[in-house]
């Protein structure tokens, strides 16, 4: 059964890569994603699978910067089909998104971490007769991106990463890094470790990996806020990526689609037969072993962060769209359901791999579709 599921997941990822380049995302710029308005509320030839129904008006959303490139690609298709809808997504980080949701400022939020119990309680004030729920919609590897001139194919492990980000390893030619990379010409160069300055689900997932895989080295409790001492900070996935690009000796953690243009992603020595690359397929393999730990309509997942399985990339996040199960605002409910239905659908999920994200495994995304259909 596991082999069959893995084969289906591989087929899903490979099929997504073949999606037309016309859907490709333009470079990340503004943190706002918008779509114009018009008079045609029906579907168009651009994407006939999108069902607009009675969707209209403006959808405000906020949250995860890790999923911004996916949101941009989705919105581009959705507003072409549903011209009566405008979507404005601010990628201010998972923490900001959850806060905006629990304060009733947005129709939905994006978060790379599931809602905490106290956040669920807070959501009941804005979800009349219901509560906020987690809908896993986007998967993806968190790349450990670095900028070390002359060094390609860098291999790191959890303990070494923990020491680097806790300011205990400060030079690229440190003995621990040399041991993992015996054939590399590692320079006597200072390590410039960057972390997120904003509350971030990417930070939460990265540190959960360090806690699970290097418990003797990473003594912090984790969470959306960075806790280790030292290092430098920048805001958002785009912010840390920019710092790595322009800083010799830099290293940081970021969603894979940001690890490009001068940034190389390290491979991870997880104890598997060979170091694991940060790829969409390897992230999907890791997500396939996730367990649904949410109750009722909540679909929060638990990932195996300390996996040693071949081809499973352990620093993987799942971004949730957070919405009310009941009590959504009447003026945005139709548009919210139409958009979430599209992105959870086959065509919406196919766009992900082309943009360096991992589609959610079929067994899980099928439950998401059923839940979205029942939103009220």
Q: pLDDT tens digits for 266-314?
A: 999 999 999 999 999 999 899 988 999 999 999 999 999 999 999 999 9
- 43, pLDDT greater than 80: no
Q: Which helix (H) or strand (E) holds 347?
A: helix 346-354
- 161, pLDDT greater than 70: yes
Q: How many CB atoms lie within 10 A of CB 286?
A: 24
At residue 49, the pLDDT reads: 83
Q: Retrieve residue 158's tokens.
A: 């959890």
Half-sphere exposure of residue 204: CA atoms within 13 angstroms, side-chain side? 21
Q: Retrieve residue 328's tokens.
A: 């959504």
Residues 3 and 265: their CA atoms lie apart, in Å, by 28
Q: What would the mean pLDDT of 101-127 be, rounded to a whole number? A: 97
- Of the candidates 65, 300, 313, which has an alpha carbon nearest to the alpha carbon of residue 209? 313
CA distances from 40 to 33, 52, 55, 85, 196 (A): 20, 10, 11, 10, 41
At residue 181, the pLDDT reads: 98
At residue 319, the pLDDT reads: 96
At residue 48, the pLDDT reads: 64
- 241, pLDDT greater than 60: yes
Residues 127 and 133: their CA atoms lie apart, in Å, by 10
Mean pLDDT of the chain: 89
Give yes or no for a contact between 202 and 196, defined as CB atoms under 8 angstroms apart: yes
Q: Structure pTM?
A: 0.79
At residue 6, the pLDDT reads: 43
Q: 78-107: string of b/e by CB count within 10 Å (b at 16+)?
A: bbbbbbbbbbbbbbbbbbbbbbbbbeeebb
Residues 131 and 124: their CA atoms lie apart, in Å, by 5
Residues of the chain with pLDDT > 70, as a percent, come to: 87
At residue 47, the pLDDT reads: 62
At residue 209, the pLDDT reads: 97
pLDDT category at 168 given cuts 50, 70, 90 is: very high
Range in 17-21, 63-67, 85-89, 266-270 with the lowest mean pLDDT: 17-21
Give yes or no for a contact between 213 and 270, defined as CB atoms under 8 angstroms apart: yes
At residue 316, the pLDDT reads: 95
Query: Greater confidence, 21 or 154?
Result: 154
């Amino acid at each position: 059964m596991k082999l069959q599921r893995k084969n289906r997941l591989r087929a899903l990822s490979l099929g997504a890569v073949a999606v037309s380049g016309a859907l490709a995302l333009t470079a990340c710029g503004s943190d706002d994603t918008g779509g114009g308005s018009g008079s045609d509320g029906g579907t168009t030839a651009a994407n006939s699978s999108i069902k607009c129904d009675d969707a209209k008006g403006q959808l405000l959303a906020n949250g995860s910067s890790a999923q911004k490139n996916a949101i941009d690609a989705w919105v581009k298709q959705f507003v072409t089909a549903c011209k009566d809808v405008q979507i404005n997504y601010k990628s201010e980080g998972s923490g900001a998104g959850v806060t905006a949701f629990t304060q009733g400022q947005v129709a939905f939020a994006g978060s790379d971490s599931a809602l905490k119990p106290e956040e669920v309680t807070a959501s009941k004030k804005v979800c009349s007769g219901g509560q906020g729920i987690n809908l896993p919609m986007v998967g993806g590897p968190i790349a450990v991106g670095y900028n070390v001139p002359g060094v390609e194919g860098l291999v790191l492990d959890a303990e070494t990463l923990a020491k680097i980000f806790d300011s205990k390893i400060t030079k690229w030619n440190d003995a621990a890094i040399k041991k993992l990379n015996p054939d590399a010409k590692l320079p006597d160069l200072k390590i410039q470790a960057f972390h997120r300055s904003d509350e971030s689900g990417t930070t939460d997932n990265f540190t959960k990996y360090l806690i699970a895989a290097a418990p003797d080295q990473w003594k912090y409790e984790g969470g959306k806020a960075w806790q280790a001492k030292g290092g430098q900070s920048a805001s958002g996935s785009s912010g840390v990526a920019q710092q790595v690009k322009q800083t010799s000796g830099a290293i940081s953690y970021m969603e894979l689609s940001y690890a490009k243009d001068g940034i190389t992603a390290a491979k991870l020595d997880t104890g598997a037969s060979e170091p694991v690359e940060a790829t969409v397929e390897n992230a999907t393999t890791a997500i396939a072993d996730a367990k649904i730990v949410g109750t009722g309509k909540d679909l929060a997942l638990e990932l195996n962060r300390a996996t040693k399985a071949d081809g499973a990339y352990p620093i993987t996040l799942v971004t949730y769209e957070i919405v009310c199960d009941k009590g959504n605002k009447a003026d945005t409910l139709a548009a919210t359901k139409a958009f979430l239905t599209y992105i959870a659908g086959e065509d919406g999920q196919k766009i992900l791999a082309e943009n360096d994200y991992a589609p959610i495994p079929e067994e899980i995304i099928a439950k998401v579709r059923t839940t979205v259909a029942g939103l009220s």
